Structure formats: C-alpha cells, structure tokens
Structure 1
Amino acid sequence: MNSITHLIICVTQIIIVFSELPVPKCKLSDSNCIRSSAQGAIPVFTAGMPDIGTEPLDVMHVDNIKVDLAGLKLVVNDISIKGLRKANLTKTDVAMEKKQIAVAWDTDIFMKGHYKASGRLLVLPITGDGDFTLKLKKLHVDMTIPFTMAKTSDGKDMIDLKSYKYKYEVMDGANFQLTNLFNGNKVLSDTMLRFMNDNWKIISVEFGGPMLEKPNKKIYESIKTYLRSQPLENIAEY
C-alpha cells in the first residue's frame, strides 16, 4: 500500500469516527457558544442550502438597487456581492424573554453591477451609464430581529422571525469605480472618482442604507428560512 492510499484511508476513518459522535448543542443563553457554532456554519450557510430553500449569499445576486435620495438618482442592475463567506460574527444573542435575536458581523464586501446615475452627489453634478464596482472594507452590520414561538407540523417548538432592523458602519474605507461617467469625459470622470473616494465616509453614511437594504433582507430571509426548517430542539437547548 503506497503512502497516498494509506493517508486517504486514515483520513476517511477519522471522518467516519467523528461523524458518529454526538454534536453538543449550545444553550440559547450561552452567547459565546452560539456565536462560535454559528461562525463555524458560515461557509455552509452562505453557500446556500437548496434542501431547505435558502439561496447563496456568497456570491449573492441582487436584480437591482435603486437610490433616490438627496438629489441623487442611481439604479444599479445585475448585482453580484462577495464577502459574506468570510464574515466575522461579533455578536449572536438570543433573548427568549424579550423574543429577540441580536446578531452582528464584520466583513469586507465587493459589489459590482451596471449603473445609471443622474442628479447630484453631495455638492457635485453626476451623470453616467456603465460598470459599477464598490469595495467596502470592514463593513459592520448590527441586526435586531424580533420573533415569536411557533409550532412545526408535528407540534414541536420553532422560532418564527417577524421582522428586522439594522445599523451599519463602514469602518476602514470604501473604494468606488464607475466607468463611462460624463459620457467618458476623462477629466470630469477622474475628478468625480477622486471626490467619491476622498469622501467615502460621508457617502457611505448618506447612501449606504438604500445600497444595503436588499442584501440585508436576503440575509434575514435566509436566517428565517433556516430557523423555520426544523424544531428548535435540533438547533439548541432552551
């Protein structure tokens, strides 16, 4: 038996042994345990779970995002978003007495699509129709999710999420790249991009809400679908 074959057999045996061990479940009151367990599940969760009906969150696809705010009219279509697979969970609390889940995470986000823009961005006029790329470095999202207790088809307890609200902050920077600004005028385009990237903080505060609403809704819907897919006793002790 060669060394590669021996290694494969050993690894297979280890996997079989560990797959038969009972997986300890966290108590819902143990926030550290819940966060650690959820952190380990992020790669599977963000890849999508078709067996229960959740779509991929990394790469996430969004049909369109519209911004009509403070003089800016912006539409971004055919959007792809990367980065959630590497999210770092900073909070995962389940308060049964308040019927509320609080979850927060940090991650770098890369978003691209096709944009059309007109109007004003802060103090400068803007117009364009082309490719849109946005990088957010250490995006922090803090989401609060109220819930009720419901019953599965066989009468067991499950968590049913009702709504969500969130706060966000771009912590370490943002970079904007837009092609074909001002019908390809390089001087005006370079001026606008320099202005956007120099003022990333105020732009992210002013316009980040509309840009993040649909992606965060998809995250919420995936969490809701997962929690409704099985009895609470399968997920944690309570």
Structure 2
Amino acid sequence: MGFFIYFVFIGIQLTSTLATDYQIPLRCFLQSPTFLDKFDTNSDVTLPRFNTLRVKNVTLDKDDWVFETYNLDYDGLDDAALDEFGFNLNTKDAKITFHTDLVAKHLYKTSGTLFSKPIDGEGHSVIKLSNVQYSFKINFDIIENDGRRYIELKDYEYTYVVRDDGDFALTHLYNGNKRLSNSMLCRMNKNWRYLTTNFGRIFMDEIASNVFNKFKDYLLAMPLKDCYNC
C-alpha cells in the first residue's frame, strides 16, 4: 500500500512517496528523520501515546433515539497508520490523515425509536469499527518562548469515515428478550454505515479532541530549528 507524506516549509515543498506493502504507524513516523529534522529535539520530548482512551460518558439524543454511554474505553489509536501529514509555515495550517480499527467498550442505556422500531435496554456494549479514517485541518501560530520558536496548534476541523465494517453488540436489550434483541442487532449490523454516518459524530469527537491535544503538546515540546525560524 502506498502512502503520500508531504511537508511545506517556508513556501518550499518537500514530497516523499513511500511505495510499500506495509502500513506506517503514527508513532514510528513521529520518530523518523523525515519528521524530526525540522525540529531541535532532546531527551525530554515525550512521544504521543494514546493507549486506551477513557471517557466518562457520552449521550446521543437524535432522531428520537437516546443512547447513553458510560465509562467508555476506546482502543486502536496506538495502531493508527499515517496517510498524509504536512505543515505550511506561510499560511499557518496543517493537515493530517490516518486510519485505524477502533473498538469502543462501555456501559449503555437506550430508549426511544430506531429504524422505526421501539428500542430499550441497559447493559454492556462493544462496538467494532474497521478501517476508520480521520482527516484533520489544523490552524497554528508560531510562538516564541525563551528565544526559541514553536508551533502552537490553535484549532481544527475534522472529518471521519468508516470504510470497511461496523459491528454492534449490546447485552440485555429489551430486558433480555432474545427474539427482539436479535432482530434489532441484525438491523444495526446490516445498517452499520447509516449508524456510523448519522450518529457517530458525537463519539468520534472525543477521539478527535484527544488526538489534537496530544499533537499540540508534542509540538510545543520541540522548538523549530534556526533555519525554520521564520
């Protein structure tokens, strides 16, 4: 699989195309000379690690469906593979695109209507999403601290798409009624694209915010090299 990695620094574009049969994990790219030779690094710089992202609660309330979730654990970000990464120091914007498989585990409580059918239940849920791609557009400033210049990420917009598959497993739907539970879960899994497109944003927001803050902290720990201090 090929990946396109580009940088734009001070109006000069450096392009690198990697034609490989393997994916490039974000954690490897952020340690590579391709990335680090733009910065002065030291042993105190901590590489972003995502591990399990834990979120206290997220509540979806849309189109007559209420889906309350508690103690969410998101796994898969540490295995994210880079698709595109770049900075432009003239326009002060950046872009990053990556993909990964995500697993969300949490407690849930649901009520309302889904697929024109009543839905209710309370229990545990495991949601698996295959090949989720995130694309970020980020604005930043160049700030000065102690005579050195740093990239400070300011705000971002993002999009996401689940490309391959979604699997929803919810225990104790309809108070454990197996027939009704199987029927609803079958509908949910057949319509995974509809669910992830129309209802997934509020859950994806948590991941986007976490990724942005990790990169922000990482870049603030590394001053630009003098030749890039524009």
**TM bracket, shorter-chain basis:** 0.7 to 0.9
Q: Which deviates more from structure 2 when the two are superposed, residues 133-142 or residues 91-100?
A: 91-100
Change (3 A) 1:138 1:229: same
2:34 corresponds to? none
Instruction: Report the Cα distance in structure 1 between the residues aligned to 2:46 and 2:115, rounded to whole angstroms.
Output: 41
Q: Decide whether the 8 Å contact of 1:62 with 1:215 is kept in 2.
A: no
Name the larger-Rg structure: 1
Secondary structure of 1:32 counterpart = strand
The yes-or-no answer on 1:160 pairing with 2:148 is: no
Partner of 1:201: 193
Relative to structure 1, the CA distance from residue 183 to residue 113 in structure 2 (aligned partners, 3 Å threshold; closer, same or farther) is: same
Aligned residues: 204
Counterpart secondary structure, 2:200: helix
Secondary structure at 1:75 match in 2: strand
Q: In structure 1, what residue type is equivalent to 2:190?
A: D
RMSD: 2.8
Post-superposition offset of 1:204: 0.8
Per the alignment, residue 180 of structure 1 pairs with 172
Q: Which amino acid aligns with 1:222?
A: K
Does structure 1 conserve the Cα–Cα contact (< 8 Å) formed by 2:85 and 2:94? yes
Deviation of the 1:86 alpha carbon: 1.5
Equivalent-residue separation in structure 2 for 1:27 and 1:37 (angstroms)? 21
Q: Secondary structure at the match of 2:164?
A: coil
Q: TM-score, normalised by structure 1?
A: 0.77
In 1, Cα distance between equivalents of 2:115 and 2:142 = 45
Structure 2 residue ranges without an equivalent (≥5)? 1-6, 18-23, 32-43
- Answer yes or no: is the 8 Å Cα contact 2:129–2:162 preserved in 1: yes
1:31 touches 1:93 (CA, 8 Å); kept in 2?
no
Structure 2 CA distance, aligned partners of 1:74 and 1:37? 33
For residues 224 and 106 of structure 2, the distance between their equivalents in structure 1, rounded to whole angstroms, comes to 38
Of 106, 113, 125, the residue aligned with 1:120 is 113
SS in 2 for 1:232: coil
Change beyond 3 A, Cα 1:148–1:37: farther
Task: Work out the CA distance in 1 between the residues paired with 2:8 and 2:158.
Answer: 25
Structure 2 CA distance for aligned equivalents of residues 181 and 147 of structure 1 = 46
Residue by residue, what CA displacement relative to the aligned partner does 1:77-119 show, whole Å, maximum 9, x if unpaired?
A: 1111111122111010112222111000111111101011111
The 3 A distance-change label for structure 1 pair 55 and 156 is: closer
Q: Kindly indicate whether residue 53 of structure 2 is the aligned counterpart of residue 60 of structure 1.
A: yes
* 2:76 maps to which of 78, 83, 102: 83
Contact 1:83 1:107 in 2 (8 A): yes
Match of 1:145 among 138, 148, 156: 138
1:105: which partner in 2?
A: 98
Runs of 4+ aligned residues of structure 1 deviating over 6 Å after TM superposition are 51-55
Q: How many percent identity over aligned positions?
A: 29
Q: 1:38 to 1:203 in 2, by over 3 A?
A: closer
Which one is further off, 185-194 or 67-76?
A: 67-76
Q: Which residue of 2 aligns with 1:15?
A: none
Instruction: Pick from 25, 32, 38 the counterpart of residue 16 of structure 2.
Output: 32
Higher strand share: 2
